[in-house]
Structure 1
Amino acid sequence: MTETADTVRATGRGCPECGEPVDVGGQYVTWCAACDWNVDPGVRDEETPGRIERLRRRLAQRYGEQLLAELSDPATGDAPGTAAGTTADRTRPGTRTGSRRGTAGVFATALAVAVHGVTVALLAGGLWLVFAGRGALPVVGALMIGLAVVLRPRFGRLPKDGGRRALLRRTDAPRLFALLDDVAGTVGTTGVRAVVIDADANASVRTYGIRQHRVLHIGLGLWEILSPQERIALLGHEFGHYAHGDTRRSVLVGAAFQSLGTWRYTLAPVPAQGLAQDFANLLTALPRLLVDGVLALLEHLTLRESQRAEYLADSTAARAAGTEAAAGLMDRLLVSGSVAGELRRETVAARTRIGGAARREDPSEGLWERLAAYAAAVPEHEYERLRRVAERRGHQVDATHPPTHLRHRRLTRGAPGGAVLVLDAARAAEVDGELAAVRRSVARELLRG
């Protein structure tokens, strides 16, 4: 059958593949729940992944299902909603999996030390050549020092206030920070030093500075489409990474990934336009392969634990907010791409208005309410379609996280768990009130461009 979704919508006929009734999608995709006809009509124009990305996807595909089974096993895993930090959150000592995690972590740390040792050797050798070398050797030493500076570990910086983002300190939003402290305490860790708010459809907790202070990033494109309990689940997930630990988030291993990425960029082949470029590519071929090998090994040693940390962070989200809210968060993540698209549409519409009453209106007023209404209008059959698309694509979109459909499946398996922390309407309104000025300024800057 070659009937298109437009034909099915126009004629009202059933699925052209199996004949079963289909939900006419309207502004959403028309598809068949019985046979998955037209479930994933989008043509993804993706660049061909490189060697490291292909390896990452293969490893992630292997680990995703394995970890789901392992963590769902009551004898060795954890259950969503289990208290953070209890023995159920960890593979029991002496088991084969726990031994593998510990061994991989030790090797990953040793490899990271070796990577940073190269940087230290470059710096020491460069200094020696500069002060003790003769002829052209000091120049070589200066180049080595420069390369060591480029490869040095970076501790991150606190983003600056202004533009399309706002930086909040504890005195700027005491109710918000009190909520963050409560969530962090619930999952077994500490709060943050600052909060950065922008329009992204995303959220994260990162560290900055030598003392590794934490900063929370809240993207209003995601925050505003969540219910109060889903917001608790989001915060519980992000803080959960620090409650359970993640090798990739450690200063030592994280900086090693940065250094190896810099090496790959530095040694990348240049377009061959002559003999000189060919000779340069030949000289860098062996070091480039060596760097790729080290990076691939570090990926292999850390990716499984990183994905496991994502699953465990989901458990802390479920414990803090309840499994229903944590599963709801997974669904909202599925529509984050279309929410970002809606924000782009709002931006284009605001920048192309001309004349009349439309020009006198402030398009930033009510932006976040319109976005929340857009997300709330997404029907259940569209969420189900997106879950099936996620299952089909698996790790093709993001190999650093388990596929969202696996995370959703794990959260909804078994009896639902209750919430340790409930964000009631009054407290949610207080937090929203503190963020009102920031919401307006971020919306205004986003639409102004």
Structure 2
Amino acid sequence: MEIGIGVAAPPARECPECGTAVPRDERYVEWCGACDWNVDPGAPEPESGRIATVRRRLARAYGEQLAAEMERGAAGGAPRARDGATALAFTISLLVHGVTVFLVVAGVLLIVLGWETGAQPAIGVLLLVLASVLRPRPGRLPKDALTLHRADAPRLFELIDEVGAVVGTTGVHTVVVEPAANAAVTAYGLRQRRVLYLGLGLWEILTPQERVALLGHELGHFAHGDVRRGWVTNGALRSLSVWFDMLTPTPARTLQERFVNAVTFLPRWAVYGLLHLLDQLTLRASQRAEYLADTSAARAGSTAAAVALLDRLLVTGSVSPELRRESVAAQMRGGRGGREDRDKAEQGLWERLAAHVGAVPEREYERLRRVAARRGHSVDSTHPPTHLRRRCAAAGGPYPAQVVCDGSREDAVGAELAPARAALARQVIRDFAG
């Protein structure tokens, strides 16, 4: 591409560490590609807490090993030890839920049979309240969610169904459209109906094939059966976390508080041990499921699209600030021009967001890939590091696209999402500034 007359090349400075020329761009972090000077100036603090620390340590312990197994194709059949670990995790989860059932039964019996003393019904009520806190809860759709059903968006659901068939599962019952730069799948209600959370902050910055890869990844979680997503194990992990928090010692200012801390010492560490064991039994399988979901993304949308999707995930941190900037700017203009200016801001919001992300240069992607490699499991222990996921996705296949989102299909899906795009653009402009 020719540089026009009078357009100066971006200035450069010397790296203070090694003296290499460092390109300058006021929009992005200045860093050195030779020695990694300033490559990660804003590293976030790791999630605090004993449980989070243990999870990060567990994740680091086998992160590279698991990635190597995936690259060698060892994930095609799970070793027996891993099947045994899953069975043991399921057994422990049932025992945890059994305690909740015991609390319910004991509470009811104390209430029904203990009226002679008066104290027993009160204890029974406390047990029932505790069981209510610890009980596994079916997922719910968020209040005021913008939901789409098959009749609302048949071409979108047709695309989801086709991707599901490729990765070995069925589609979803509901799509919840949000402004967030994220996507997820889960189940809700007693019938465990499937729902896809589709964040326009992510969907709108992807190419059509990257969107197919995104659907392949999310539906892949259903296909590969992530043990930590099941209501039995997930509910047990939640219950144990609640127990541990409830048994956390308080500052011992009085003799009574010291007595309570002493009495709860052994139960607290027993709960912590169970939580640690259940984490150890399930965390590896959960991260393996994430790699398998990336493989599903590649099979559906192509290896190239899956790798590009993982690169896009590196820049999603800029989506929320950009939407907030758009909202603040519209509010400031709205003070002078009123509703007309806000309406103009809402129109084309998602196109401007896509253009903003599309302008990110390859050098910034490379920096973010290096940042991901440096941070690894230090911040997020529930997902494998993005650089390992990218490496495994690139090493697999290569898979051609089994689901093609051509121009006509893209236009049809876009038309079905148009009302949601307009509604969420209005929500972003009016609410994000606050």
- Using the size of structure 2 for normalisation, the TM-score is 0.92
Which residue of 2 is the match for residue 85 of structure 1? none
Separation in 2, partners of 1:279, 1:364: 60
Task: Please tell me whether the aligned partners of residues 10 and 24 of structure 2 are also in contact (alpha carbons under 8 angstroms).
Answer: no
Deviates more, 1:386-395 or 1:256-265: 256-265
The one of 151, 161, 167 aligned to 2:134: 151
Q: Name 1:204's counterpart in structure 2.
A: 184
The correspondence of residues 306-385 of structure 1 with structure 2, limited to 5 A, is 306-357=286-337, 360-361=340-341, 362=343, 363-385=345-367
Retained in 2: the 8 A contact 1:353–1:359?
no
User: CA offsets per residue over residues 398-418 of structure 1, 9 Å max, x none?
Assistant: 101110000111122366321
Change (3 A) 1:399 1:380: same
Q: What residue is the counterpart of 1:286 in the other structure? A: 266
- Residue matched to 2:40: 40
The CA distance in 1 between the partners of 2:421 and 2:10, in whole Å, is: 41
Structure 2 residue corresponding to 1:140, chosen from 123, 127, 145 = 123
**Contact residue 180 and residue 192 of structure 1 kept, 8 A:** yes
Deviations 1:326-384 (A, max 9, x none): 00110111111111221222223233335444763122111111110111000001000
2: CA distance between counterparts of 1:440 and 1:37? Answer: 43
Partner of 1:130: 111
What are the within-5 Å matches in structure 2 for residues 56-135 of structure 1?
56-74=55-73, 76-77=74-75, 89-91=76-78, 98-133=79-114, 134-135=116-117
Cα separation, 1, equivalents of 2:30 and 2:151: 50
User: What residue number does 1:83 align with?
Assistant: none
Q: Is the 8 A contact 1:25 1:31 kept in 2?
A: no
Residue of structure 2 in register with 1:410 after alignment: 392
CA separation of 1:414 and 1:19: change in aligned 2, threshold 3 A: farther
Residue in 2 that maps onto 1:12: 12
Q: Are the equivalent residues in 2 in contact too, given 1:15–1:22 (CA < 8 A)?
A: yes
Say whether the 8 Å CA contact 1:327–1:408 is kept in structure 2. yes
Secondary structure of the residue aligned to 1:13 is strand
Which residues of 2 match residues 159-198 of structure 1 at below 5 A?
159-160=142-143, 162=144, 165-198=145-178
Q: What is the rounded CA distance, in whole Å, between the counterparts of 2:233 and 2:124 in structure 1?
A: 27
| Letter of the 1:140 counterpart | I
Q: Give the alignment of 1:245-256 within 5 angstroms.
A: 245-256=225-236
Q: Percent of counterpart pairs with the same letter? A: 55
**Structure 1 Cα separation of the partners of residues 159 and 396 of structure 2:** 29
**2:406 matched residue in structure 1:** 424
Q: Is the Cα–Cα contact under 8 Å of residues 159 and 167 in structure 1 kept in the other structure?
A: no
Q: Which amino acid aligns with 1:153?
A: P
Note the aligned Cα RMSD (angstroms): 2.0
What code does the residue aligned with 2:93 have?
A: A
Deviations 1:192-228 (A, max 9, x none): 1111001111000100112211000001111110110
User: How much does 1:288 deviate?
Assistant: 2.2
Distance 1:423 1:298 in 2: 41
Assess, with a 3 A threshold, how the Cα gap between structure 1 residues 273 and 186 changes in structure 2: closer, same or farther: same
Decide whether the 8 Å contact of 2:71 with 2:396 is kept in 1: no
| Aligned mates of 1:25, 1:302 — CA distance in 2 | 44
What amino acid is aligned across from residue 128 of structure 2 in structure 1? I
Counterpart Cα distance in 2 of 1:24 and 1:185? 47
Does the CA-based 8 Å contact 1:224-1:372 persist in structure 2? yes
> What is the aligned partner in structure 2 of residue 24 from structure 1?
24
The counterpart of 1:391, out of the listed 343, 351, 373, is 373
* 1:318/1:411 contact within 8 Å kept: yes
Call closer, same or farther: CA 1:257–1:169 in 2, change over 3 Å.
same
CA distance in 2: counterparts of 1:243 and 1:342, whole angstroms: 34
Residues 280/349 of structure 1: CA separation in 2 closer, same or farther (3 Å cut): farther
8 Å contact from structure 2 (residues 46, 378) kept in 1: no
SS at match of 1:22: strand
Question: Residue 10 of structure 1: CA displacement?
Answer: 10
- 1:327 and 1:411 in contact (8 A); partners too: yes
Matched position secondary structure for 2:293: helix
Does residue 421 of structure 2 align to residue 434 of structure 1? Answer: no
For the pair 1:226 / 2:206, whether they are aligned, the reply is: yes
Q: Secondary structure at the match of 1:352?
A: helix
Pick closer, same or farther for the CA change 1:42–1:125 going to 2, 3 Å.
Answer: same
2:46, 2:379 within 8 Å by CA — same for their partners in 1? no
Compare 323-332 and 131-140 and name the one that shifted more.
131-140
**Does the CA contact (< 8 Å) of 2:182 and 2:202 recur in 1?**
yes
Change (3 A) 1:316 1:414: closer
Alignment of 1:293-308 (within 5 A): 293-308=273-288
Query: SS at the partner of 2:86?
Result: helix
Pairing 1:252-271 to 2, within 5 Å after superposition: 252-271=232-251
Q: Helix, strand or coil: the match of 1:396?
A: coil
Which residue type is aligned with residue 371 of structure 1? Answer: L
* TM-score (normalizing by structure 1): 0.89
Structure 2 distance, partners of 1:12, 1:182, is 49
* Counterpart residue number, 1:86: none
Query: Take 1:266 and 1:238, find their aligned partners in 2: how far apart are those partners?
Result: 34
Consecutive unaligned residues of structure 2, counting only runs of 5 or more, are 1-8
